[in-house]
Amino acid sequence: MFEAKVVAVLALAIGACGSAPATPDEKAPAVKAPAAAKAAKPEIVAAPQVVTPPARKLPKTLGLDGVEEKAAEIHATHRVSFFCGCSYTAQMRNIRQSCGYKTRADDSLAHDIVWTRVVPPDAFGAHRTCWTTEACRRDDGSSFGGIECCRRQDPVFAVMEADLNNIVPAIAEVAKDRSDYPFGEVKGEERLYGACDIEVDGAGGWVEPPARVRGDIARIYLYMRAVYGDELEVPAEQWATFEAWNLEDPADAWERERAAAIGVIQAMPNPVLASGAPAPSDGQVGAASNPPEAKPDAKVDAKVDADAKADAKKPDAKKPDAKKPDAKADAKADADAKTDPKSPEPPAGTKAG
């Protein structure tokens, strides 16, 4: 009986170790599910590339601090005033007897030569925000605009104002009278400056330059347009005048020499005069040619300097009336004997053009 029970127990134990059904607690081997299809990536469309136009290549100008000194160096062998063709000394004193110049109104300004701009600054500044709004502030907190603000805030304006191609020597009185008036034709032939054939119509706001420099003026304007493009604002009808003047009065040797010298200094040749312009040797400016009338005259320079010193010790002379020229006063002024060169009022051509 006992043996039968043992056999039964063993049979049950053997069955339990065999194919017993899995309980819920038992972990079945993990079966890898078929890999889910990867979600398709959205197609990336490249945004159109924004092409920034290259910055306009500008001349390497010297800035206002050094531009007049460099201009004097360029003109050292050609000391001839631009509009009137008067010789002048190294001390920037006008030799009036060299060209028949007569004072119009201010005898002190008639004796001085200043550096002025053919294309006035308002032609490339008056449309700028720095000029039209009070965008600059002084140390005291007050705001201001105009040319001084543009000099501070607008680097393109600063380059244009200091471009040597646009800076020429002129009699201070003529530069002041010219102001920033555009060039064109003035009716009538009233001569207010003696033999200097420049006509200034202050009421109408026009200046008619001598025929001998009309081509020079035209090519300076054409240069500014070629280099600075729409930075320069000039009425469309004026360009026709300049194109005509350019053809009527071709460039001479001095104009080409000057352009070549400036091209070296500013690292940019003048595109209007580059063809055939002689290059200065060894970087020396003003050495290629020297018009006979432009040679410095030591005797004349010495006389003018002596007269200036003598004038400084004499009482002030009465300025001639602009409306009623005084022939005697002009004769005395031409002799440089009885005038006292006062410190002139800063003419428009010195800094602002």
Instruction: Kindly state the tokens that stand for 74.
Output: 């360029």
What are the tens digits of pLDDT across the range 201-216?
999 999 999 999 999 9
pLDDT at 287: 38
Please list, in sequence order, all residues whose beta carbon lies within 8 angstroms of the beta carbon of residue 176, skipping any fewer than 6 positions away. 106, 109, 345, 347, 348, 349
pLDDT at 273 exceeding the cut of 70: yes
pLDDT at 189: 73
What are the tens digits of pLDDT across the range 98-141?
999 999 999 999 999 999 999 999 999 999 999 999 989 999 99
For residues 80 and 290, give the distance between their C-alpha atoms in angstroms, rounded to a whole number: 11
pLDDT at 306: 55
> Residue 261 in contact with residue 285, Cβ under 8 Å?
yes
For residues 98 and 84, give the distance between their C-alpha atoms in angstroms, rounded to a whole number: 10
The percentage of residues in the chain with a pLDDT greater than 90, rounded to a whole number, is 57
More confident position, 42 or 215 = 215
More confident position, 7 or 221 = 221
Q: Where are the beta strands (DSSP E) in 118-189?
A: 136-137, 143-144, 167-171
What are the tens digits of pLDDT across the range 207-249?
999 999 999 999 999 999 999 999 999 999 999 999 999 999 9
What are the tens digits of pLDDT across the range 297-346?
444 445 545 554 544 444 443 333 433 444 444 444 454 433 443 333 44
Region of 282 on the Ramachandran plot (φ > 0 left; ψ -120 to 50 alpha; else beta): left
Instruction: Kindly state the tokens that stand for 294.
Output: 């432009």
How do 143-144 and 113-117 pair as beta strands? unpaired
What are the tens digits of pLDDT across the range 76-103?
999 999 999 999 999 999 999 999 999 9
For residues 199 and 242, give the distance between their C-alpha atoms in angstroms, rounded to a whole number: 17
Region of 336 on the Ramachandran plot (φ > 0 left; ψ -120 to 50 alpha; else beta): left
Instruction: Kindly state the tokens that stand for 160.
Output: 């244009």
Instruction: Kindly state the tokens that stand for 152.
Output: 């501070």
pLDDT at 188: 81
Q: What is the pTM of this model?
A: 0.67
Kindly report the backbone phi and psi dihedral angles of residue 172, in degrees, each rounded to the nearest multiple of 5, phi listed first. Answer: -55, -40
Confidence class for position 56, pLDDT limits 50, 70, 90: confident
The domain ranges of the chain are 64-335
For residues 121 and 340, give the distance between their C-alpha atoms in angstroms, rounded to a whole number: 32
pLDDT at 191: 86
Kindly report the backbone phi and psi dihedral angles of residue 73, in degrees, each rounded to the nearest multiple of 5, phi listed first. Answer: -65, -40
Query: Any idea which residue has 């003018």 for tokens?
Result: 304
Please choose, from the candidates 244, 227, 219, 237, the residue with its C-alpha nearest in 3D space to the C-alpha of residue 118. 219
More confident position, 31 or 248 = 248
